[in-house]
């Protein structure tokens, strides 16, 4: 896949069953996305269903993919099948 380095980030922590504070996680995720250089992408985030659903209002199937456009701020679920 040619993936480069990866980083852990508090904005991707799961708040499922109160493992992390939901408001803090979503604030950190919003800050992370706002800080990204749109010319350096694409970016790949791996997070929990509740995080991506709360941020995008899309709740994909297990292993599903949600695409977020940094310019338009539009979210779409990528259908694999």
**pLDDT class of 26 with cuts at 50, 70, 90:** very high
Kindly tell me if the per-residue pLDDT of 7 is higher than 70: yes
Whether the bond into 30 is cis, omega within 30 of 0: no
For residue 64, the SS3 value is: coil
Mean pLDDT of 47-66: 91
Q: Quick check: 4 pLDDT over 80?
A: no
- State the pTM of this model: 0.79
DSSP 2: -
Beta-bridged to residue 67, according to DSSP, are: 76
Could you please report the per-residue DSSP string of 3-46? Answer: -------GGG---GGGSS-HHHHHHHHHHHHHHS-TTS------
């Amino acid at each position: 896949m040619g993936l480069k380095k990866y980083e852990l980030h508090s904005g991707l922590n799961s708040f499922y069953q109160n493992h992390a504070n939901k408001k803090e996680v979503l604030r950190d995720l919003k800050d992370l996305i706002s800080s990204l250089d749109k010319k350096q992408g694409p970016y790949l985030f791996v997070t929990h269903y509740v995080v991506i659903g709360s941020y995008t209002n899309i709740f994909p199937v297990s292993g599903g993919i949600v695409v977020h456009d940094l310019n338009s701020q539009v979210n779409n679920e990528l259908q694999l099948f």
